[in-house]
Structure 1
Amino acid sequence: MSTTQTSYTHDPVDLPGAGKSHQAFTNLVARAANLPQPVSVGVVWPCEQHALEGAVLTARQGLMTPVLIGPKEQIRALALTSGLDLGQISIVDEATEDSAAQRAVSLVKDGHVQALMKGSLHTDTLMHAVVAQQAGLRAARRISHVFLLAVPGYDDLLFVTDAAINIAPDLAAKRDIVQNAIDLHLGLGLGTPRVALLSAVEVINPKIQGTLDAACLCMMAQRNQIQGGILDGPLAMDNAISPEAARIKGLQSPVAGRAQILVAPDMEAGNMLAKNMIFMASAESAGLVLGAEVPIILTSRADSVQARLASVAIGALYAQALADARLHSKG
């Protein structure tokens, strides 16, 4: 059974707390800052300092043009007490979190913003408006989440999916999860991704559903039901990212030992994997919700300044890629 969780160039500025970033994130931030014009992003309910500061700092970096959605006077007062200059940043006045989330969806549909960014409201509230059957931003595919992780010592960005939305995805949901991640990798200009379908073992075991799903997904890719990536699985975590582990196990594939997208069998495994990398391997992280009409940037109050910059940069680059693709399809 498939279940969706809805608990869900500019001169550099001196950013407080900014440290040395992984080169992959640095490159993406630089590319986003050099887009022909900053992407318009609806920042939903930026009513705590971390959320408002993130929007203002990323705007100063030229990564986006924020449209703040929430109680206007409260946001202005927060900016004043936090020492933040809002300048010409637009504020759309909404009195409640629910109405702010619904207004954000309307701004997308009206073409006023190209992406959304979670402020200080709960993810549930924002995603409820996004996935609403009639008025929401559902597209053809299931909505999913990707963690992008810059791990010290690993040259490529690692995409981990799904670690936040789909609790126990079935095969059809996993197909969408994989395709969403591939499309993001391609949209960011990172090339054809090597996709590892993770399980506890690297052989098919009928008692382990994840190994059966991995084998089916590989066949789906061969039949063009999944496009744009190179898939292999099932793969255990060690032989997905370690060339030596793959060699010892005798695995010969373009993915084993060199994976760029790690597809977890379920949300619990994905979430633990991503947070292990963040808290035990000192990985910088960024997060994006995919599969809706526009990308949705998710940040948390615990994120570093670099993580906020990376999340916005990735959201902006992918929003621009989607806009270019729509324009190309019309042309």
Structure 2
Amino acid sequence: MKASNNSQEGFILLGFSDKPQLETILFGVILVFYILNLVGNITIILVSCLDFKLHTPMYFFLANLSFVDLSLTTCIVPQLLVTMGKKDKTMSFSGCVVQLYVSMGLGSTECIILAVMAYDRYAAVCRPLHYVVIMHPQLCLWLAVTAWLSGLVTSLIQCSLTIQLPMCGHNQLDHICCEVPVLIRLACVDTTFNEAELFVASVLFLVVPVSLILVSYGYIAHAILRIKSTSGRHKAFGTCSSHLMVVIIFYGTIIFMYLQPVKSQSKDQGKFVSLFYTVVTPLLNPVIYTLRNKDVKGALKKLLLGKILASEKL
């Protein structure tokens, strides 16, 4: 980032400072959501790892999704709460760069993981007899590694191009965190190439996965409708509806942020949209998957009862 002033002064993260009363309310709401997020996603990770019955592809990818969500919110929320809780809204240049790289990498990884989870559900519903063969452990590991590496590569490319843009002393970020579209907007040079590159990356990590997910669920819906048993149809719909709900919420908000022209974005809308997919959506994942999933609830009860019995023996 060619601006020595930026590296010395850092960035002023304005957030909702123009609305003091709203900022106070949001501080409390975000703090509560973050705590619940930590508890929910850590619970899913622990249950998925500790309960042998959940050592399946579905819960392997769910644990990966929870880890991504946990890391993404931890990358953004603590810094946001610090700037919201004090008059000095300054965020260091290095802190902004780290947040930029990490959040972009994690967000891109989540896009791929959600698509992989849709493929897993397709295999489970449409190819049940061959499911174990299709989703063998080596393939699951390869898909997870591909998702993480894809996020890493796109973050290195996209963020590296962004931080090279000269800001000419502009250091006020009218946003809740350091994101690529916001930093591009601060640049004092022609950003056509950066915007085009961001659009291409957004198509690859948003439009393509969404298309694959829709195709997968098209096949799933067709297979479910052919099930003669009413209880069987309900069970199949219940298994897949949770994932589809997460997909709609996550992709809907992030597409709004990244697939419209950078300079046409409404600043206030952008703040609330970013707040939604960095704070709200990561909390919805554990809520949806635990409250609507008998396996997870059963495993959680089993672990809790085991700990209670162990403590009583002591």
Shorter-chain TM-score tier: under 0.3
Instruction: Give the structure with the higher percent helix.
Output: 2
Provide the TM-score with structure 2 as the length reference. 0.27
* Greater relative contact order structure (CA < 8 Å, 6+ sep): 2
Instruction: Give the structure with the higher percent strand.
Output: 1
Larger radius of gyration between Structure 1 and Structure 2 = 2
Provide the TM-score with structure 1 as the length reference. 0.26
